[in-house]
Structure 1
Amino acid sequence: MALLKILASPISGNYSQLPAYALDEIKNADLIIGEERKTTLRFLAAVGCREHSYRLLNEHSTDEEKKELIAAVSSCGTAILFSDAGTPCVADPGYDFVDMCINAGAEVRSLNAVSAVTAALSVSGFYAESFLFAGFPPKDKQERAKFFNHMKNTKQTAVIFERPYALVRTLEELKGIGKRVSLSINLSMPDEKNYRGTATDILGLLPEGIKAPFAVVIEGKK
């Protein structure tokens, strides 16, 4: 299975600030995907990978070019998508490409996540030019019902957190919103796992009794 990793890069643009484990991942990747040629070459030089194979993806990329890029990702072992500065796909080009990769059967994971919010958004493939961070659902039963009703009615892509022991309960509550969701478990850890679909679909895929740190992205409208 093809693997696409979404790399959060330093907002300063100083790629030497990347941690050692991220540099190792970059050096071991088969393909690097950047926004602009000049910046991508500077990135590869900074991380000691001048000879690495690379491709470009930006707001000018056509659907046909994205399909060709997906084919390139599918034919290699691991590809890394990075932004000039910050996290790809969050108010940044790439979310639709990630969406296409997921639909094509690729596994998508975060790399060097600096925030669970932006990391979860970047691997979801959902529109994130703007989004709602809704935080944790209330514990009170009535307030909690209002919270999930708001998630049902909002047009924005939304990110929510909940405690590890409430993972299954949260998905059960999300069944009624009628939207696709992306569930990210153990973000940026070696055993990171991302699921996308309806809450019902995802519940059928989870190991029984699972308890783990997670974030949920609820799909909004473009």
Structure 2
Amino acid sequence: MTGRLVLAATPMGDVGDASPRLRTALETADVVAAEDTRRTKALASALDVTITGKVVSFYDQVEMARLPALVADVAEGKTVLLVTDAGMPSVSDPGYRLVSACVAEDLAVTCLPGPSAVTTALALSGLPVERFCFDGFPPRKQGQRKTWLRELVNEPRACVFFEAPHRLADCLADAVEVLGGTRRAAVCRELTKTYEEVRRGTLSELAEWAAEGVRGEITVVVEGATIVASDPADLVDEVERLVADGTRLKDACALVATPGVSKRELYETVLASRKE
């Protein structure tokens, strides 16, 4: 028999979103590697499914230690099912290292598609999302978070990311400062769950709302930037502001440059401005 690794998306909240293939996989897998074994067993119970295989924990802190045994299980012909607490494995959750290890050994890897907070939030945002980027969780420290946000100043694609509820207000306040208060966004809370809520508006409006405190699982979508050609002289002040905050001049120019103004042209303009 040929073994395989199966990545399976699990419901974000409503167990009715579980696919028939997920039910079958939980019942028949030789090994179930779960981010939280208790939650996976609770899911199986809610689905009236009996897990017959071995259940092992597979969360961030034990991921590397578990790899050799799980890869060996697949190599021996077993089916290893990988599930996380909610959504798709590897998307800001454990998984990609196990996939990489199996691929390196030329072992079969497949996926059971299903719920994803990323695509669900994009669909509900009401923003143009034909092109988007996913950025996981923003940095926790304010300085690093602002640096990350500056990368989105001229990003034409919508950006979707997760955020902890207790950091959402600070994150949105920083976004107002860096991206401007008129940039549109959507905050999606508790997707598919009883208290699902989607707040749409400008960053300023959303920051004011979040300041009162927010609970639950959070996914944020920020609209892409509208890129227009600029006079490099109009961008000098923004570059100098970044430099004053500790960013190297070349890096600041790379962050502020637009399709209409190259970073080299902007760099030379800044130097010329300083001579004046």
TM-score tier (shorter): 0.3 to 0.5
Larger Rg: 2
Higher helix proportion: 2
Higher RCO, 1 or 2 (CA under 8 Å, sep at least 6)? 1
Q: Give TM-score scaled by structure 2 length.
A: 0.38
Q: Give TM-score scaled by structure 1 length.
A: 0.47
